[in-house]
Structure 1
Amino acid sequence: MSELLSTINGYIWSNALVYLCLAAGVYFSVRSRFVQVRQVPEMIRLMLKGEKSPSGVSSFQALTMSLAGRVGTGNIAGVATAIAFGGPGALFWMWVVAFLGASTSYVECTLGQIYKIRDALTGEYRGGPAYYLSRAWSHTAAAPAFKVYGYIFAFVTILACGLLLPSVQSNSMALAMNNAWGVSTWWVAICTVIVLAFIIIGGVKRIATFASIVVPFMAIIYIVLALIIVAMNASEVPGMISTIFASALGIDSAFGAIIGSAVMWGVKRGIYSNEAGQGTGPHAAAAAEVSHPAKQGLVQAFAVYIDTLFICTATGFLILSTGAYRVYEGESADGRVIAEGGILPADVAVGPTFVQTGFDTLWSGAGSSFVAISLLFFCLTTLIAYYYMAETNLRFVLGKHSPVNVRFIGGTVGSNATLLLQALVLVSVAIGAVSTASEAWTLGDIGVGLMAWLNIIGIIILQQPAYKALRDYEKQKKDGVDPIFDPVALGIPNATFWETRDPLTGKERDLRVDA
C-alpha cells in the first residue's frame, strides 16, 4: 500500500505541478500589478479592522480561521523535512512561493467572497472554490461543465480535508508528545478526538472564536522564542544566509546535486504550509463580513506572509543557526548524508525532532516540551479548519436537499451526512496519530496536490472578477470613501449574495438565502 501511495503521490507532485504553481504566481502578480507589494499597508490596516454579523465573522476572525488552516505541522515538521531532503536552499524556494503565492491567494480569496452564499441550513456565510467554479460562468453555455468541475472539487476537498490531511497533523502532534514526555500515541489520539469533537460540533462561530484566541497567541510566542535562539547564534547567521542562497541556486558544490530537490521540496512544503493556490483559504475568506470582497482578498494575501515569511522562516533559521539539521541525498532518510549541523543524535527521525533539538539549545530539556505544546495548538487549530472546509463542501454537495436534522446530545447539530463527516475526521485523526510519519505525509501530499491542480486551473480561467474588484476597490479608496461592492455596476454576473445588498449602504435588502 505504501508503494502504491508513493507512486500516486509522485504522479500528482510531478514537476508539472511545481512549475504550474510558480508560473501561476508570476502571472497573477503581473496581472494584479504586484498587489502583494503595493497594498501591504492596506493589508495590515484591514487585518486589524472589520465588521461581523450574526451570519459572518470579522476580517480578523476570518484571518485567524485561515491561519488555523495554514499554521500547523507544515511550519515545524514541514520545514525540517524540506531542509532534510532539499537542503537549506529549500527555505529560499519557500520564500519565493510565498511571495508569488500572495497574489494567488488574493485572487482565490476575492473570488471566494464574490461568489459566497448564505447557508440555507445554518444562516452562515459559506464559499470556496466549489462555489465560484460552479457559479461564475453559470450564465454561459459552459455552465454544465463548470458545475461538474465544482462538484469534483467539492468531493476532492471532502476527501482531502476529511480523511487525508488530518492524519498528518495528528501524527506530528503525537510524535512530538511521545518524544517530549513519552506519552503513548494512543492516548494522544483519544484526547485529541474528544477535544476536537467538542469544538467542531459548535459550528463556525465556535471555530472562529477558538482560532482568534489561540492562533495569534501561539504564533507570537513561537516566533519570539525562535528568534531569541537565532540571536544567541548571531555569529552563525551570515554563513547560514549565504548557505541558503548558494544551496538554492546550485552555487554550493555540496548541494549542487540536489538543486532540483531544493525547488521541489521548497515549493511542495511552501504550498503545504501557506496553502496559496490550494483552495483552502477561500473557505475562511468567504465567512467574513465585509463591504467589499477585495478587503478579505487583501487580508488573506497577507496571511501567506505571516505563515511563511514569519513562522516558517523562524523555524528554518532556528534549525540552521543551531546546527539541528541533516541533509540526505535521494530525498530519503535512507540516503547518504551530504551535510549536517552536528548536534542531532545519530538515529533522530526527520521531523519535529529537528526543531525540538534546536530549542533545547536555549534551555536543555525544555525544547521538546515547548515544540510539543506548540504543535498541540497549531495542529489542533489546523484540524478544526480542515473540518470546517470539509463541511463547507459537504453543504455545497447537499445544496437545498440537506437531510432532515437529527438530535444529538440534546441539540440539533446537523444532518446525518454532517455527523458522518464529523466521524470521518475524528477517525482520520485517531489513525494518523498512531501511523508512521511517512504514510501520513504521503496521504497529506496527495490531498494538497489534488486540490491545488483543480483550484489553480480553475482560478486561471475565472480570475477576471478578482481584478475588477481590485480596480474598483482602489478607485473608491482614491475617492476617499469606504469601498462598497456592486457587482452589477462592475459587470460581474452571478454574484447573487451581493446583488441582494443596497450598493449605496452595503446593507442587505432582504434575508434571502442561497444553497
Structure 2
Amino acid sequence: MTDLLISITGAISDAMYTYVLVFMLVGVGVYFTIRTKGVQFRYIKDMFAVLTENKHVGGSRSVSSFQALMVSTASRVGTGNIAGIATAIATGGPGAVFWMWLMALIGSASAFIESTLAQMFKIKGPNGEFRGGPAYYIEQALGKRWLGVLFSILLIICFAYGFNALQSFNMSSSLEYYIPGYSESQAPLALAIVLVVFTAFVIFGGAHRISFMTSIIVPIMAIAYIALSVWITATHIDAIPAVFSLIFESAFNFQSIFGGFAGSVVVIGIKRGLFSNEAGMGSAPNAAAAASVSHPCKQGLVQTLSVFIDTLVICSCTAMMVLVFFVGGTPGDLNGMPLVQQAINYSVGELGIHFITFSIFAFAFSSLIGNYFYAESNIRFIKDNKIVLFVFRITCLIAIFMGAQSSFDLAWNIADIVMGAMAFVNIISIVLLGKWALRALDDYTAQRKRHEDPVFVASSIPGLPPTQCWHETAEELAERDRALRTREEQV
C-alpha cells in the first residue's frame, strides 16, 4: 500500500512541476524582469549596501536586513544544494547547470516582487518584531483571509513537518559511512535527541535567537564550502575548459532538450534552479518581512541577492566539484550524495568525505531553523496565541525526532505536492498585487536619483490598500524608536 501511495504521489508531483509550475514560475519571472526593467541587474550595488545598514526601527527583537538575509538563505541553502545538484547533473546532464543559472537570473525578479510586498504589508508585534509574508499580503491587499489561511496551512505542512523531517533524515543518513549497521543501531535515536535539544534551544528563543544563530551558521558554512570548491577548481584548472564545454554542449544539445521533454536537460535545470532558490514560491517573503528597513524595496533587493547566493554561488560550487570528477574520473552510475562523495574523494581524498558530512549537518541544521521561522510566522497569522505556539513547537520537534530515524519517500512526495499548491497560490497573488511593488520601486528609484537614502511612506502611493506600517515620516519613526529603546533599557 505504501509503495502504491509513493508511486501515485510521485506521479502527481512530477506532473505539477513539469507541466504547470515550471512554466508559471518562468513566465512570472520573465514578466517581472521586464516590468522592473531588470531590477536584479540594475541595483546589484544596492543589494550589498543595504546589508551594512542598522535596523531602521523596532525593539530588540526586530532583526536587521543582514539577519533576514541569513534566515532566508538558511532555508534556501540545504542538502538539495549538494545532493540535488549532483542528481540534476546525473539525470539531466551537465547542461542542467546552465538552465539553473538562467532561472536564477530570471526568477530573482519574482523574489524581489514577493519580498517587497511582504515588507509593504507586514505587521508589528508587541515586542517590536515584524511579521509578514504571502498570507499577510493576501489578507490585507486582496482582502481574502481564507486564502491567506490556506496558504499558511500549506506552508506549515510543507516546511515545519515535511521538509524539516527530511532535513533531519538527511543528517542522520550521512552518518552511515562511519557507523557499520547504522540503521539497526541506537545511533539514529541518539542523533534525534541531540537534534531536538539543539533545535528547541533556538526555536524557543524566538525570532531574535533564530536570526542570531543563522547569522553565524550560514556565513561559516557558505565560506567553508566555497573555499573547498575554489581549491578544487584551482588545483584542476586544466579541466575547467572541458567542464564549461560539457555544460554548454549539453545545454544546447537538441536531443537533450527535446528528447522526452519532462526529463530533459532544460526542465531538470529549471526545476533544480527554481526549487533550490525558491524564487516566487512564497517562502522567503516570511523572512523578508521580519527585517527593519527604511524602504520595502531594500529588503526586496536583499532577497534577490539571496537567490544569487543560493544558485549562482552555492549550487555552482557543487556543480564545479562534480563536473571536475566527470572530466577526469569515472562517475559511472553514481547519483546524489554518493556522486558528491566520490567527486570530493577524487579531488582531495578521504578528508573530503568528512568535510561533506560536516557540510550536510551545517546546511541541514540551518534549514531546520529557517524553515521553522517561516512556519511560526504563519502559525501566528492563523492564531497568535502562546498555547497554540507552544503546542506547534512541540509538534515540530516531534517531526524532527521522527525524521532522524525514518525514511520519508512518501512524506517527500506529499511535501512537494503541498509546496506546489503553495507556490500556485503565491504566484497568482503576486501577479495580482505586483503593481504595488512596482510603484514602490518607482518611489525607491526616484529617491535614489535625488541621491537620498530611500524612506517609504504609504501615503506616497495613491490607492495603496491599507497597511499596518509605513504611516510615519522618518522623523516620527526615529522619535518612536528612541522612546521604545528607552523603555527597553529601563526594563
The 8 Å contact of residues 502 and 508 in structure 1, kept in 2 or not, is answered as no
Q: Distance in 2 between matches of 1:223 and 1:267?
A: 23
Report SS of the residue matched to 1:165. Answer: helix
Q: Distance in 2 between matches of 1:438 and 1:245?
A: 33
The 8 Å contact of residues 282 and 423 in structure 2, kept in 1 or not, is answered as yes
Residue 372 of structure 2, aligned match among 379, 387, 395: 387
Which residue of the partner structure matches residue 497 of structure 1? 469
Which residue of the partner structure matches residue 79 of structure 1? 85
Which residue of the partner structure matches residue 335 of structure 1? none
Which residue of the partner structure matches residue 155 of structure 2? 157
The one-letter amino acid of 1:374's match is: S
**1:3-18 pair list within 5 angstroms:** 3-18=7-22
Report SS of the residue matched to 1:463. Answer: helix
Which whole-Å deviations, capped at 9, do the CAs of 1:226-259 have from their partners, x for residues lacking one? 12112222222222212212222224x5786356
Say if 2:446 is the partner of 1:475.
Answer: yes
CA RMSD of aligned residues (A): 2.3
Cα–Cα, structure 1 residues 441 and 227, in superposed 2: closer, same or farther, change >3 Å?
farther
Report SS of the residue matched to 2:259. Answer: helix
Unaligned 5+ segments in structure 2 are: 485-491
Which residue of the partner structure matches residue 250 of structure 1? 253
Which residue of the partner structure matches residue 410 of structure 1? none
Structure 2 length-normalised TM: 0.90
Residue 353 of structure 2, aligned match among 368, 374, 392: 368
Which whole-Å deviations, capped at 9, do the CAs of 1:253-277 have from their partners, x for residues lacking one? 5786356422222222222221111
Which whole-Å deviations, capped at 9, do the CAs of 1:262-294 have from their partners, x for residues lacking one? 222222222222111111111111111111111
**1:285-300 pair list within 5 angstroms:** 285-300=288-303
Cα–Cα, structure 1 residues 495 and 463, in superposed 2: closer, same or farther, change >3 Å?
same
**1:392-471 pair list within 5 angstroms:** 392-399=377-384, 402=385, 415-436=386-407, 438-439=409-410, 441-471=412-442
Report SS of the residue matched to 2:225. Answer: helix
Which residue of the partner structure matches residue 343 of structure 1? 330
Q: Distance in 2 between matches of 1:451 and 1:274?
A: 15
**1:174-189 pair list within 5 angstroms:** 174-180=172-178, 184-189=187-192
State how many pairs are aligned: 470
Instruction: Give the drift of 1:451.
Output: 1.9
Say if 2:99 is the partner of 1:112.
Answer: no
Q: Distance in 1 between matches of 2:80 and 2:177?
A: 18
Say if 2:1 is the partner of 1:29.
Answer: no
Which residue of the partner structure matches residue 484 of structure 1? 455
Residue 217 of structure 1, aligned match among 216, 220, 232: 220
Which whole-Å deviations, capped at 9, do the CAs of 1:70-108 have from their partners, x for residues lacking one? 111121111112122222122112111111111111000
The 8 Å contact of residues 456 and 470 in structure 2, kept in 1 or not, is answered as yes
Cα–Cα, structure 1 residues 250 and 505, in superposed 2: closer, same or farther, change >3 Å?
farther
Instruction: Give the drift of 1:398.
Output: 0.8
The 8 Å contact of residues 93 and 248 in structure 1, kept in 2 or not, is answered as yes
Which whole-Å deviations, capped at 9, do the CAs of 1:318-377 have from their partners, x for residues lacking one? 1111129xxxxxxxxxxxxxxxx753476x5x3222222222223321122111111111
Structure 1 length-normalised TM: 0.86
Which residue of the partner structure matches residue 24 of structure 2? 20
Q: Distance in 1 between matches of 2:325 and 2:202?
A: 37
Cα–Cα, structure 1 residues 186 and 263, in superposed 2: closer, same or farther, change >3 Å?
farther
The 8 Å contact of residues 87 and 258 in structure 1, kept in 2 or not, is answered as no
Which residue of the partner structure matches residue 406 of structure 1? none
The one-letter amino acid of 1:111's match is: L
The one-letter amino acid of 2:168's match is: S
The 8 Å contact of residues 297 and 441 in structure 2, kept in 1 or not, is answered as yes
The 8 Å contact of residues 95 and 249 in structure 2, kept in 1 or not, is answered as yes
Q: Distance in 2 between matches of 1:424 and 1:62?
A: 25
Q: Distance in 2 between matches of 1:355 and 1:468?
A: 45
The 8 Å contact of residues 86 and 258 in structure 1, kept in 2 or not, is answered as no
Q: Distance in 2 between matches of 1:136 and 1:235?
A: 55
How much identity, in percent, do the aligned residues show? Answer: 38
The 8 Å contact of residues 59 and 288 in structure 1, kept in 2 or not, is answered as yes
Residue 507 of structure 1, aligned match among 478, 483, 486: 478
